[in-house]
Structure formats: C-alpha cells, structure tokens
Amino acid sequence: MAVTGSHVGPRHCHTSGRVIDIRMRAWVAAARHMGFEMDPRELTEDEAAVLRDVTAWWKANRDWMRRADILRLESADPAVIAEQQLAEDGARFVVFAGRAESSEQILPRPLRLTQLDPEARYRITLRNRADAVGLSRGAPALKTGDLILTGQYLMGQGINLPWSFPLTMWVCEGERL
C-alpha cells in the first residue's frame, strides 16, 4: 500500500506565495491522506467551520478511499484538473474537480467519468453545492439537486459542474443504486 500525504497549509502559502481559500486547501488535502500543517489560531470562524466540515467528510470516507483506484479524468477544459476515486467494489466514487486558473471557455464543459458500470444507475451529489457562486452561467442541474444517471451517460456525456472562480474545487459523490 502507498500513501500520499496532503496537508491543509496556512492561508498564505510558503511555497507559492499565494493566498488560497480554505475550501480549496481542505478539499485538496481530503483527496489524499489528510493532515494539517498550519497554525489553527489563524483561522476565522468561517474557515474553522469549513475545516471541521471537510475533516468530518474525510473521516467518514477515508476507509474506502484508502483502497480506491485513483483515476485521472480527461477534462475538455485545460483549466480543470480532475480525478475520480472509485471504491474497490465500484459501489461508490468521488470526483475532485479543481479549477487551477481562469478558463478561456465561456461555459463549463461536461466532465466525463470513467470505469463505471454502463448498465447501473448512480446518484450524483454535489457535496459542496453551497459554494456555487451567483455568477454561475447557465443552470447546471447539480447546482440545485442530486441527479440519477446511468454509468453509460456519465462516461459518455458526463456531468456539468457549476461555473467557478480559479483555485476552487468541486466535490461530486456517486453511489450505485
């Protein structure tokens, strides 16, 4: 077994010099072996609440994620870096889709998933739906509720994520029904 550590660092990143929102820092860490490498006294009340929420999510999912296949997803938008973590039994997955920079595209492009059962139906939940900004172009269905789609649809057409600013992350959970 191999472990990739990823820690929630300080607001002001000591390696890049950037100031990165706690949501992005926490979800990046939650995609791996989550840890903390910062002074928690620097957190605002909102940041502490976000960190508690993401940490609770990670603790609830770490057992199956530890053994999951990590699959890089091909994004039609070069500004989006995405992966899908698929449970050993294929019954659940999580997609982490991060926007590294401003997109040159006007509308978000669908993100196609991989290695699902084409005949199965999956419930898709945007875990951090509350982070969707009012500027979101269009009305992607995930912004307002869960979806039930076939594996064939998810791998062929994909899911439309809400528009987002740079250095933000969408987290989509999938469960085979």
pLDDT band at 140 (very low <50, low <70, confident <90, very high): confident
pLDDT band at 2 (very low <50, low <70, confident <90, very high): low
* Range of weakest confidence among 43-47, 104-108, 162-166: 104-108
Of residues 136 and 172, more confidence is placed in 172
Phi then psi for 74, rounded to 5 degrees?
Answer: -85, 120
pLDDT band at 135 (very low <50, low <70, confident <90, very high): low
Mean pLDDT of 57-73: 96
pLDDT band at 11 (very low <50, low <70, confident <90, very high): confident
Residue 138: pLDDT above 70? no
Query: What is the 3-state composition of the chain as percent helix, strand, coil, each rounded to the nearest 5?
Result: 25, 30, 45
Kindly indicate whether the domain formed by 69-176 is annotated with CATH number 2.60.40.1180.
yes
- Residue 8: strand, helix, or coil: strand
Structure confidence by residue, pLDDT tens digits, 79-119: 999 999 999 999 999 999 999 888 888 777 899 999 999 99
Q: Map out the domains of the chain as residue ranges.
A: 5-65, 69-176
Specify the pTM. 0.92
Closest CA to 159 of 90, 88, 84, 57: 84
Mean pLDDT over the full length of the chain: 91
pLDDT band at 3 (very low <50, low <70, confident <90, very high): low
What is the reported pLDDT for 143? 86
Q: Do strands 5-8 and 33-36 pair parallel, antiparallel, or not at all (unpaired)?
A: parallel
